[in-house]
Amino acid sequence: MATDRLTIYCDAKFPVPVTDDLVRAAAPHRVILASRPSASNLVSAGPDPRLTDADVALGQPDPKQVMESQRIRWVHVTSAGYTRYDRDDFKAALRARGAFFTNSSAVYQEPCAEHCLAMMLAMARRLPQCVADQQATRPWNAAEHRIRCRLLTGQTGVILGYGSIARRLVELLRPLGMNIICVRRKASGDEGVTVVTEAELDKVLLTADHVVSTLPETERTVGLFNAARFDAMPEGATFYNIGRGTTVDQAALLDALRSGRLGGAYLDVTNPEPLSPDHPLWTAPNCYITPHTAGGHHDEFERLARHFLDNLRRFERGEALADRIV
């Protein structure tokens, strides 16, 4: 399908070389830059009069302004999560004018899955504890660490959500011989892994050595991990969150860690972000925090731009868009 010359609005705060390459590679289409770029993938840039001239929006454009525009034919967000756009009225507005909405899951599935795998291996092999020894009095606690190390082989991992990040994590974990159970709203039957519905969540938590949340923030997921669910997990189980911090009742998580019932927690996301230096999660027993870095990688911005440009070529040809939501 031939596509007329488009005006592409970009509010992503890319490094200058990436922006320059994007402008060149998008030709013959015109790229206009936001008057105030988005500070991060987690923050909307807010309304911008320049968006009114756009046929395509790249970055984190203001949802209300997108809905009101009759010109925008395609919105591509520079994140895997899209909570602020995950609304019936937003999706309906795009569908009503035949517009598309895509995200950048393909960019973040690998780093997020690898990050979670690193967390799981680090806990199993007691790497944090050995680092703490090295930074303190450097005792040679070989016997203690050896006897308390664990193998992932034969253990059970419960993964909440079955988007692109969870699917890649399953691929990474499968060769380790883990028993993997994924929890999703509706099972399709062709996942290639054991899948149960949300109605069975509490049942499968009883069997979990590892519980991984990749969940977005929605009305259904806020506070999903509460005291009852932490209590349902076997003593010594480990909890990981690479989804959204709002899905966890952090007071309940603190209680589970302090009581020793929970073996540990690895958190890449918290509520709020950034987490204040005096927040008790920083010093909770066996709680390890990374500052929302699971998706980070050395060529993140370049890959975001390439992903958009690949989709732009598909858009020009009238082909199916990658990572399409609407």
Give all domains of the chain, ordered by start, each with its CATH number. Answer: 7-103+298-317 (3.40.50.720), 109-289 (3.40.50.720)
pLDDT of residue 129: 95
What CA–CA distance (Å, rounded) separates 150 from 124? 5
pLDDT of residue 323: 97
Of 215, 247, 242, 244, give the one whose Cα is nearest residue 230. 247
Q: Which residue has the tokens 């028993």?
A: 179
Residues with a catalytic annotation lie at 244, 273, 292
pLDDT of residue 1: 43
How do residues 193-237 score in pLDDT, each as one tens digit?
A: 999 999 999 999 999 999 999 999 999 999 999 999 999 999 999
Given strand 100-102, what is the order of strands in its sheet? 30-33, 7-10, 56-59, 74-77, 100-102
pLDDT of residue 187: 83
pLDDT of residue 130: 97
What CA–CA distance (Å, rounded) separates 230 from 245? 15
217 Cβ neighbours under 8 A, 6+ residues apart: 81, 83, 243, 244, 246, 247
Q: Which amino acid is it at 119?
A: M
* pLDDT by residue, tens only, the chain of 326 residues: 446 899 999 999 999 999 999 999 999 999 999 988 887 777 777 899 999 999 999 999 999 999 999 999 999 999 999 999 999 999 999 999 999 999 999 999 999 999 999 999 999 999 999 999 999 999 999 999 999 999 999 999 999 999 999 999 999 999 999 999 999 998 888 888 999 999 999 999 999 999 999 999 999 999 999 999 999 999 999 999 999 999 999 999 999 999 999 999 999 999 999 999 999 999 999 999 999 999 999 999 999 999 999 999 999 999 999 999 99
pLDDT of residue 2: 47
11, two tokens: 């509010």
Q: Which amino acid is it at 23?
A: V
Q: Are strands 264-267 and 100-102 parallel, antiparallel or unpaired?
A: unpaired
Q: Label each residue of the chain as H, E or C.
A: CCCCCCEEEECCCCCHHHHHHHHHHHCCCEEEECCCCCCCCCCCCCCCHHHHHCCEEEECCCHHHHHHCCCCCEEEECCCCCHHHCCHHHHHHHHHCCCEEECCHHHHHHHHHHHHHHHHHHHHCCHHHHHHHHHCCCCCCHHHHHHHCCCCCCCEEEEECCCHHHHHHHHHHHHHCCEEEEEECCCCCCCCCEEEEHHHHHHHHCCCCEEEECCCCCCCCCCCECHHHHHHCCCCCEEEECCCHHHECHHHHHHHHHHCCCCEEEECCCCCCCCCCCCHHHHCCCEEECCCCCCCCCCHHHHHHHHHHHHHHHHHHCCCCCCECC
pLDDT of residue 3: 64
